[in-house]
Amino acid sequence: MRIGITCYPTYGGSGIVATELGLELARRGHDVHFITYANPIRLDTSVDRIHYHEVEVATYPLFQYPPYTLALASRMAEVAERYALDILHVHYAIPHSISAYLARAVLASRGIAIPIATTLHGTDITLVGTDRSYHLITKFAIEQSDGITAVSRNLSDRMKEVFGIEKPVRVIYNSVNLEQYTIRPHRNPEPLLVHVSNFRPVKRIHDCVRVLAALRKHMPARLKMVGDGPDRGSAERLAQELGVAKYVEFPGKCSSIARTIAEADLLLLPSELESFGLVALEAMASGVPVVATNVGGIPEVITHGEDGFLCEVGDVEAMAERAREILTDAPLRERFVRSGRHTAETRFSTQTIIPQYEAFYEELVRGGAHR
């Protein structure tokens, strides 16, 4: 097939999922056309069958806000026509689904029919989509998509609640390429906790610092906070206030997540909300036990007490205690390492998940699914 993919090219789960999906589809013989405003961070454009089309957003003194949604729609239509795409698949509803809707209308006016698929990732529904300024248009865009997927059952349910949409939603979980994630045989002499995110308020990164401070009352440990975003400065200040600054490292964004995660003895994910928690899956694939919050789609990924521990949002004492258990109880830790990897292999490998997208595309192209 010839597949157009649009996503945010920046540091974030939805862009990573879209990029890995495109790369895997290309390996499986499909032609994949990325239509984005910059090269997605994990995209290797030298791979066969991967094509990249940049969206240029022209500015003009009249525009206080350059109309990215329109530039994207125009580029989608142009690429779809030129390369005879079979389907346009957008990741993150806002504003990508609206651009796809416009592109489909433009193409229809030129006698070309193309289905559009939207994958919902999380905050497009739970945070941005609930904001009054985007609510109606997001609902409309989702209703107009020919096919909708969500990255967890929880997100699919939330979408129906938030928008009152009764259209079927296909749950297709995020996946992990197991060849890129391996279990490191040795542990660090001083345990290393790792957190990876975009440091937005929803990630509750201050809780990571608090967990480290609570844990250090019982045992030595260090924390690596990988990523960047609005809460970085205040988290650094909190580490100073709690007297743990010299044990917390903020290395910024990192290009090799697989290597960074593999170095960890434990991954912390204390989010307020998480539709899936891709980094938790990457940690499980690397045999790194996870302490996360029991929210959103996380319990669909991590089974509490088998692959890791789930705690209530904000309960840093419980998270620190669970971290201590994992770091001090070798048989428990070993069980989590094996079970996490096994879960990644059996439920979330690219071999399991990518064919589900292929089947979904086939249905849409044949005019089935929800049209």
Closer residue to ligand GMT (CB): 85 or 176: 176
CA distance 165 to 181: 38
Smallest gap from residue 257 Cβ to ligand GMT (A): 13
Closer residue to ligand GMT (CB): 276 or 336: 276
Smallest gap from residue 83 Cβ to ligand GMT (A): 26
CA distance 47 to 41: 14
Closer residue to ligand GMT (CB): 268 or 278: 278
Smallest gap from residue 8 Cβ to ligand GMT (A): 6
Smallest gap from residue 157 Cβ to ligand GMT (A): 13
Other residues' Cβ atoms within 10 Å of the Cβ of residue 194: 24
For residues 231 and 207, the answer to whether their CB atoms sit within 8 Å is no
CA distance 131 to 95: 13
Closer residue to ligand GMT (CB): 200 or 232: 200
Q: DSSP letter string over 161-201? A: HHH---S--EE----B-GGG----S---SS-EEEEEE---G
Smallest gap from residue 156 Cβ to ligand GMT (A): 13
Closer residue to ligand GMT (CB): 191 or 343: 343
Closer residue to ligand GMT (CB): 154 or 339: 154
Closer residue to ligand GMT (CB): 85 or 275: 275
Helix-, strand-, coil-residue percentages of the chain, each rounded to 5: 45, 15, 35
CA distance 368 to 290: 39
Smallest gap from residue 301 Cβ to ligand GMT (A): 9
DSSP 47: S
Residue number with the shortest CB distance to ligand GMT?
Answer: 122
One-letter amino acid at 203 equals K
Smallest gap from residue 172 Cβ to ligand GMT (A): 10
Closer residue to ligand GMT (CB): 247 or 309: 309
* 147-170 burial code (b ≥16 CB/10 A, e <16): bbbbbbebbbebbeebbeeeeebb
Which residues are near ligand GMT by CB under 6 A? 8, 12-14, 17, 92, 121-123, 151, 174, 200, 202, 273-278
Smallest gap from residue 33 Cβ to ligand GMT (A): 20
* Of 209, 214, 211, residue with least CA distance to 225: 209
Parallel, antiparallel or unpaired: strands 170-171 and 2-6: unpaired
